[in-house]
Amino acid sequence: MTQFLIRTDMATPVDEPEEVQFLDWAPSRTAATLQTGDTGQEFFAGWRPPRQAADLLLFGAAVYCADKTTLRRQTVDSWTREITVRLPVADVAVWVNANFASAMNFLTGDRWSIDPYQSAKDPVTDVPGVPILDRAVGLGVDGVCLFSGGLDSLCGVIDLLEEDLHRRLCLVSHNEGGQASTAQKVIFDELTAHYGTDRIVRRALYLRPAPANSSQARPLPRSRENTTRSRSMLFLSTALALAAASGPDTPVYVPENGFIGVNVPLTRARVGSASTRTTHPHFMQQLVKGAAAIGVQNPVLNPYRFRTKGEMLAHSRNPALLRRLAGQSVSCSHPETARYVGRKQGNCGYCFPCLIRRASLAHVGWDDEQYAWDIFDEQDQEVLLDRGRVRGSDLRAVLAGVLTERPDRDLLRNGPIPRGERSAFTSVWRRGLTELRAWLIADARGELGQLVRALR
- When pLDDT is averaged across residues 97-118 and rounded to a whole number, the result is 98
**Coil, strand or helix: which one is 296?**
coil
Question: Does residue 44 register a pLDDT over 70?
Answer: yes
User: φ and ψ at 386, to 5 degrees?
Assistant: -80, 115
Q: How far is CA 66 from the centre of its chain?
A: 16
pLDDT band, very low/low/confident/very high, at 328 (cuts 50, 70, 90): very high
- Helix then strand then coil, % of the chain, to nearest 5: 45, 10, 45
Q: How far is CA 356 from the centre of its chain?
A: 17
Whether 120 contacts 9, CB under 8 Å: no
- Environment class of 12 (CB within 10 Å of its CB; exposed 0-12, middle 13-18, buried 19+): exposed
- When pLDDT is averaged across residues 206-226 and rounded to a whole number, the result is 95
Query: Looking at residue 243, what is its pLDDT?
Result: 98
Q: pTM for the full model?
A: 0.96
Residue 456 DSSP label: -
What distance in Å separates the CA atoms of residue 60 and residue 100, rounded to the nearest whole number?
11
Whether 44 contacts 123, CB under 8 Å: no
* Ordered DSSP codes for 208-225: EEPPP-TTSSSPPPS---
For the ranges 127-141, 261-275, 310-324, the lowest mean pLDDT is seen at 261-275
pLDDT digits (tens, 9 = 90+) for 331-381: 998 887 777 777 888 899 999 999 999 999 999 999 999 999 999 999 999
pLDDT digits (tens, 9 = 90+) for 379-389: 999 999 999 99
**Coil, strand or helix: which one is 89?**
strand
With b for 16 or more beta-carbon neighbours within 10 A and e for fewer, the 353-383 pattern comes to bbbbbbbbbbbbebbeeebbbbbbbeebbee
User: φ and ψ at 115, to 5 degrees?
Assistant: -110, 100
What distance in Å separates the CA atoms of residue 118 and residue 76, rounded to the nearest whole number?
34
Task: List all residues 6 or more positions away from 104 whose beta carbon is below 8 Å from its beta carbon.
Answer: 63, 110, 112, 114, 230, 233
